[in-house]
Amino acid sequence: MTTSTPTRAAVTEPDRRLPALGGFAPGALGIELRRVLRNRRTLAFTLIMPGVFFLIFGLPQGGQSLDNGRPVTAYIMISLAVYAAMVATTSVGGAVATERALGWSRQLRLTPLRPAAYVATKLITAMSLGLLAVVVEFVVGTAAGVRVPAYVWLLSGLAAWLGSLVFAAFGLFIGYLAPAENVMQIIGPVLAVLAMFGGLFVPVEVLPDVLQQVAKFTPVYGMGVLARAPLTGDGVSMAAVVNLVVWALVFGVGAARLFRRDTARV
């Protein structure tokens, strides 16, 4: 086959190299972040609601102290920061379900964007919103008069934020499980129950004995204990660390498997 005449002599040949990093681009991430921050529903559940919870359930405990003399309000604030972060990261990860239902993921397959770059964008977006959720909760707490040493802010905040990575994976896991437009309406109540077992709404110690034992095996327990450890000074139990690691593996591996199933060509 010899076609000697160039058919597009007047047009400069486009750059046909592959994109760097599989198409991962800060510009696209920026649009994704703006998109998340524009979603009123997401903002209501991740930034406003946990703050309001603190004002309603936290503030009335003002003046009461933990065993080590630190304020109970700080305990509640940190717990709600964990809750805010996990809802934030789950909702971003779970949005994959919506995008699959809408057919956007199929549209993306017509572009150079590699699936791994897509997931990386989702994870960074999830963790950004998670960080914002923690910061907002701490700002609300501070504004309402909660005072703790700086290292507690920092370590508890970091633990709440990094722990929420487990739920970013959980969100992706759910997102790749089934395409659904309103996935958060299904997961929202599940997160609330998990948060309850994780001691984010009331201390696990006030639950009935059986539930206390069950709680130790639920996914929020570990991150709750870790996030509050700098405040309570209780130290970190091995059970909490194992809990966090195991659930991170379960959701991470689960998400990766479903992701591979989704991107396989049939």
Partner 1 sequence: MTSTHPAVELDGLTKSFGAVTAVDGLSLRVQPGEVVAFLGPNGAGKTTTIDMLLGLSRPDRGTVRVLGGTPDDAVARGRVAAVLQTGGLLKDLTVGETVRMTAHFYRHTRPAAEVLERAGITDIADRVVGRCSGGQQQRLRFALALLPDPDLMVLDEPTTGMDVEGRRDFWQALRRDARRGRTVIFATHYLDEADAYADRIVLVRQGRIVADGTTAEIKNLAAGRTVRATLPGADQAALAALPGVDAVEVRGDSVLVRTGDSDAIARHLLTRTAARDVEITSRNLEDAFLALTTAQTGA
Judged by DSSP in three states, 94 sits in helix
Judged by DSSP in three states, 71 sits in strand
116 near partner 1, judged by CB under 8 A:
no
Q: Which of residues 224-243 bind partner 1 (CB under 8 A)?
A: none
Angle in degrees, CA 136, 141, 142, rounded to 5: 100
Total residues binding partner 1 (CB under 8 A): 40
Q: Which of residues 1-40 bind partner 1 (CB under 8 A)?
A: 1-3, 6-8, 10-11, 14-20, 23, 25, 27-28, 31-32, 34-35, 38-39
Structure tokens at 248: 């991170």
| Closest alpha carbon to 87 in 163, 180, 178 | 163
Binding segment (CB under 8 A) for partner 1, from list 100-108, 187-195, 230-238, 251-259: 100-108
Q: How far is the CB of 265 from partner 1 (least distance, A)?
A: 5
94 near partner 1, judged by CB under 8 A:
no
Q: How far is the CB of 263 from partner 1 (least distance, A)?
A: 11
Residue 90 CA to residue 169 CA, distance in Å, equals 8
102 near partner 1, judged by CB under 8 A:
yes
Residue 39 CA to residue 50 CA, distance in Å, equals 17
Pick the closer one to partner 1 by CB: 27 or 69: 27
Residue from 82, 86, 87, 113 in contact with partner 1 (CB under 8 A): 113
Give yes or no for a contact between 241 and 174, defined as CB atoms under 8 angstroms apart.
no
Q: Which residues pair with 65 in a beta bridge?
A: 71
Q: How far is the CB of 40 from partner 1 (least distance, A)?
A: 10
Q: State the virtual CA torsion across 176, 181, 185, 190 in degrees, nearest 10.
A: -10
Task: State the burial class of residue 111 (Cβ atoms within 10 Å of its Cβ: 0-12, 13-18, 19+).
Answer: exposed
106 near partner 1, judged by CB under 8 A:
yes
Q: How far is the CB of 4 from partner 1 (least distance, A)?
A: 9
Q: Which residues pair with 71 in a beta bridge?
A: 65
Pick the closer one to partner 1 by CB: 27 or 208: 27
Pick the closer one to partner 1 by CB: 232 or 263: 263
Q: Which residues bind partner 1 (CB under 8 A)?
A: 1-3, 6-8, 10-11, 14-20, 23, 25, 27-28, 31-32, 34-35, 38-39, 99, 101-104, 106-113, 265-266
